[in-house]
């Protein structure tokens, strides 16, 4: 079966996943792609329901992401935020005037009883997207970070307000033991030809998705057609706190460490040329490595990376 008949489900966080999806959509028809996106970064602020990873994926694929910040919308203005500042309000989390439209709409629709899955599809459709973008669950799961000081704070407080500078003792996902993957997520994992674990943060982006009741076991059952793209290149992360979090929580900060984390759910890993000498050690975990350029500096690099990942998972690598 050639690539353009394959159906692919991608477990996603924010920026790295969005870049990977941009590449994947050049090699697989959008209707055959399902993004399953972390919602444990979500929060309510100013009474608004905010879903950063869903918005980063949606905005990036719509060609509307703000390239200065890496999040929010391009061509942004900050009038609302400046008035908030005037009042000494909670302006630490930057909500631009255009981005606010998304949070206002999502909050209103949720208050009308719509599910996050439904609202996310409405927003994706409004931006002209054809792929399926799914929140990992319609239940509430929230990442909580316990610092070395034993203080436990919400993810966005850790990540944005404190600039992910604090040493971390533990990470847990409030609500994960009651939360279930949505029916659409379970159907996507059940029916797709390939599952890709995007180059997102294993600890705070992918782990919440795999923590949902039954999902880890469902992906593990098809590990032969599941492939992870390592987010760690040359011992560091391209963006964000992944390397620090892996180190704080006792994992090896390398492509091998990533292979070990996902060994029960993915039989394949794509690692960067900078880590070619680590390929042999991935096999210790019954994970087959493929080496290629994984730095998605250009869309065609992302497209090539997506093709390599699919070939690895369909054993044509």
**Residue ranges in contact with ligand FO1 by CB under 6 A:** 13-14, 41, 52-53, 55-56, 71-72, 93-95, 99, 156, 159-160
Q: Provide the minimum distance between the beta carbon of 163 and ligand FO1 in the complex, in angstroms, as a whole number.
A: 7
CB of 143 to ligand FO1, least distance (A): 9
Which is closer to ligand FO1, CB of 243 or CB of 291?
Answer: 243
Based on CB atoms, which residue is closest to ligand FO1, 28 or 243? Answer: 243
CB-nearer residue toward ligand FO1: 20 or 71: 71
In the complex with ligand FO1, which residue's Cβ is closer, 93 or 105? 93
Q: How far is the CB of 47 from ligand FO1 (least distance, A)?
A: 15
Q: Least distance (Å) from ligand FO1 to the CB of residue 14? A: 3
> What is the closest distance, in whole angstroms, from the C-beta atom of residue 206 to ligand FO1 in the complex?
12
Of 72 and 135, nearer to ligand FO1 (C-beta) is 72
Cβ-based burial of 242 (10 A; exposed 0-12, middle 13-18, buried ≥19): buried
Q: How far is the CB of 316 from ligand FO1 (least distance, A)?
A: 32
For residues 43 and 265, which CB has a smaller minimum distance to ligand FO1 in the complex? 43
**Dist. CA 74–CA 22, nearest whole Å:** 17
């Amino acid at each position: 079966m050639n690539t353009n008949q394959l159906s692919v489900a991608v477990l996603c966080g924010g920026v790295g996943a969005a870049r990977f999806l941009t590449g994947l959509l050049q090699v697989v028809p959008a209707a055959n792609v399902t993004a399953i996106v972390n919602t444990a970064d979500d929060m309510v602020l100013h009474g608004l329901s905010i879903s950063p990873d869903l918005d980063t994926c949606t905005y990036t694929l719509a060609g509307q992401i703000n390239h200065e910040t890496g999040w929010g919308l391009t061509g942004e203005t900050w009038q609302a935020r400046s008035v908030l500042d005037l009042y000494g309000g909670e302006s630490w989390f930057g909500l631009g005037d255009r981005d606010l439209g998304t949070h206002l709409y999502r909050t209103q629709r949720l208050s009308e009883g719509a599910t996050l899955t439904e609202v996310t599809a409405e927003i994706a459709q409004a931006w002209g997207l054809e792929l399926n973008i799914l929140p990992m669950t319609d239940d509430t799961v929230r990442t909580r970070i316990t610092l070395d000081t034993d203080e436990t704070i919400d993810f966005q407080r850790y990540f944005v307000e404190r600039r992910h500078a604090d040493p971390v003792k533990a990470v847990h996902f409030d609500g994960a033991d009651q939360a279930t993957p949505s029916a659409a997520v379970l159907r996507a994992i059940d029916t797709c030809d390939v599952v890709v674990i995007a180059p997102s943060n294993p600890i705070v982006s992918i782990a919440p998705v795999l923590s949902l009741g039954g999902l880890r076991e469902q992906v593990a059952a098809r590990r032969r057609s599941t492939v992870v793209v390592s987010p760690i290149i040359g011992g560091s992360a391209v963006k964000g706190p992944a390397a620090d979090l892996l180190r704080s929580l006792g994992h090896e900060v390398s492509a091998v460490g990533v292979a070990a984390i996902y060994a029960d759910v993915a039989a394949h890993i794509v690692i960067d040329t900078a880590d070619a000498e680590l390929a042999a050690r991935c096999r210790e975990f019954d994970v087959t490595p493929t080496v290629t350029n994984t730095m998605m500096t250009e869309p065609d690099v992302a497209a090539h990376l997506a093709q390599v990942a699919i070939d690895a998972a369909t054993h044509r690598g």
